[in-house]
Structure 1
Amino acid sequence: MPKIKRKQIVILILAILILYVVTEAIPGFVSKATPTTTIEYGNLLVEDDVTCYALRDETVYAAPSAGSVKYNIDEGTQIKVGKEVLTFQSSKSDTDPEKEIKFQDIADRLGDKAVSENITKANRKGVFSTYIDGYESYFTAENFDKITEAKAMERKGKIEDVKSSDVDKGQPLYKIADQSQWHMICWIDGEDISRYQVGADVTVRFDDERADDVVFTVEKISEEGEKWKLLLSSNRYYKDFAKFRDLDVKLITTDIDGIIIDNKYLTTKDGKTGVYVVQTTGDPKFVQIKALGTDGEKTVVSENTFYDEEGQMVETVKVYDEILKNPEADDSKDSDSKSK
């Protein structure tokens, strides 16, 4: 083979190799030089630690005279109208009206709101309880606008078990609380209130490993100073429903499994939110995402596909996709734009 022909073949081979490097190796090198991250599957939990106060429709019953009591109903029992709740035997002894009775402070707070007639049988349905604080007519849903955080804190920790076998006239004996619809009130910091909307559900996690979470609906939101006051309503069961007034709980607004993306990796294109996914060629491609929830720093998004507002199916991110950390890539970096 003539030397000149052999030389031409060598040059051709070198040209092919150079072309390969330019078209394949260089883009891959550039993509590796661009900061990227791999998205993964996880759980996004958004919660607020707050003190909630129970607001119930409840009636307190007090002894009509001094006497002895035998309770026939256990704490927390759901009862119907006419159910015999206790046996009361009056001592018929004259009681000095100036004498301080047992649970005098609770009786004073109740005032004339306690019922002292026909106390042996339930005159309403509800949950039977001997845990009373005297604020039963104050902590109601109807009184929501009047309850302030300062006033609620003044009344915190006052509930007591008043169950007793020997009682004085006017002494609180028990209460019946309606659990068909009950409420809680709490206060949220201003920077967190955007996560709450009237009509939306929140999950309340009580500080008790034995208790199940209870779903509440946000019924009202009211501004109070630098905080926001929430009225939550529920008809769900909670085992200690009637025993507490105030509890430290967690309000959970988001608890979702899915692909989690750091918000700083999100960008917009043509009015749509998404990320730049690195393709097998090394080129970044804009991929639209659908947010399912966020804590302000991270967002959980749909996986593989979702339907947009027009009902069209959209292909979206997948687990272990590699995305750009610097999403301010212009259209010239987008493989879709290159194909056009």
Structure 2
Amino acid sequence: RGKPVIVVMTPEDGEIITRGAVASCSYEARAFGVRSGMSYLKARELCPGGVYLRTNFSLYEEVSSRVMGELEAFADKLEVASIDEAYLDSTRRAQEYASPEEFGEAIKRTIKERVGLTCSVGIAPTKACAKIASDYRKPDGLTVVRPSQVKSFLAPLEVGRVAGIGPKTQAALEGMGIRLLGELAATPPYILEERFGRVGVWMWLVANGEDNDPVEPQSEYKSISTEHTLERPTTDTVIIRGALQPMVGELHSRISSLGLLYRTVGIKFVYKDFKVATRDHSYREPRGDPASIEQAITLLLGRFDYTKPVRKVGLRLSSFIKIPENQKTIEEWITQGANKDQ
């Protein structure tokens, strides 16, 4: 604790790490300029005294599953957003507590006592505001934004604090003289719609605390995806593959915690000119293992254009099948299906 810790995704075996990419890092490491997606050599240059560890996805999956299991006790509906993030609709459950602050502290205390981890909690009337609130006092923070406080809480924050407003959109907004969420909220929505289409209306609703995106229970997932912006645009397939690799463990952990099998694996490239290309591969039978995701990645990477630099990559799983609740393992589910076909 208190030391700069850097987790590295590397293809190497053995104790010594000589190459790879940063999958994650502690706040202490970020103070040295280390960031996710950065090469191991660059991270070592910036933070030579850091503690460098290999990724351990089986451990992350186990811990994530335990955390999500504890959160279920506090949620009317639970949406697992990533391996380390979730949205809770706790409209009814929260009424058992004297205040939102007491409810949030109960969540934090439970995770700390039963899993041994600190966490940050954001409580607000909307998902977008709750997400911003959860990031507001990281690490180990608690921020409560009441309905009457949403607009005043959001107003002084930069528009880029909203999940879904990326660098390109933020730059476009700033070109219109809109840097803060308060300025976005005061912009006539028809102007935003003319410039950004339906996304413009959504941004206006978020800035005004009027977006009503629901918390989606596990059974409602159509696809699960994650994305990563590269340190710099590149045509190097090794770097691109290295950026995709940590996503395999993250998505596998998420579908495992949701009790889902997938049939389709998709990859998205966002090029330097912001044009988007996607490729998908579907298996005939449902899969539940990370190896099949990696196999699909290898196949799909051969179908992209590498004449233009790539700035962002994404990985997506879809075509889900829910594992029956009385089925103990994915392997048993697949075996059962194979026996029926015989």
TM-score by length of 1: 0.22
Which structure has the highest strand share of the two?
1
Between structure 1 and structure 2, the one with the greater Rg is 1
Which structure has the highest helix share of the two?
2
TM-score by length of 2: 0.22
